[in-house]
Amino acid sequence: MTGTHSELPVAARVRQLEERVIAAGLATDAELDDVLARLYDGASPVNGARMVARAWADESYFRRLLADGNAAAGELGLGDPYGLGYRLKAVANTPQQHNLVVCTLCSCYPVSLLGPSPSWYKSLAYRSRAVRKPRAVLAEFGLELPAGTEIAVWDASAETRYLVVPARPAGTGEMPEDDLAALVTQRGLIGTAVV
């Protein structure tokens, strides 16, 4: 083994953990593969985008989404095979407040609604700087917010995970819901893009 645990690439650390779980007789390789396959089956940012598009199109759904993210996901038939397994909190961007999600501890993230997390979300650079220097981090993503827009940073955990509801783009008043959903990106759902 080379280097300390924290210096190893994530994939190697995960494999070490898997090998210890297997060696301890807690699960087999096949069982671990099966858990991952079920977790990623159907996991896509298309799901989160559908929720956002529904919220843009239906004000009462928007209110329900903000009040209870889990129930709102369930309304659209979205959830992990086990139910979401955590509290989903939706946070809506406004001219006054832009929302940004990070997991400072590791990489907690609503996989089934946003798809597999991007590598930058799991990077130490993002996790360590998103809270302290959110405006600088967003600028690195090419997102320059007006000075008057505050940035709220939400720290995800195993228990509570976040979905950003971007502001509806101007000029989309007549757009059907499916077309609205196609405007929403994974980065928009995390808060590193406007939409």
Binding segment (CB under 5 A) for Fe ion, from list 21-29, 99-107, 129-137, 140-148: 99-107
Q: Residues 44, 106, 117, 123: which is the catalytic one?
A: 106
C-alpha–C-alpha distance, residues 136 and 142, integer Å: 10
- Scanning 76-123, the segments in alpha helix (DSSP H) are 111-114, 119-122
For the question of residue 107 being annotated catalytic, the response is yes
For residue 183, the number of C-alpha atoms closer than 13 Å in the C-beta half-sphere is: 20
106 touches Fe ion (CB under 5 A) = yes
* Residue among 47 and 107 whose Cβ is closer to Fe ion: 107
103 binds Fe ion (CB under 5 A): yes
Task: Give the residue with the Cβ less far from Fe ion, 18 or 75.
Answer: 18
The C-alpha angle with vertex 188 and arms to 162 and 157, in degrees rounded to 5, equals: 20
84 binds Fe ion (CB under 5 A): no
| Count of residues near Fe ion by CB under 5 A | 5
In angstroms, give the least distance from the CB of 124 to Fe ion. 13
- List residues binding Fe ion (CB under 5 A): 103, 105-108
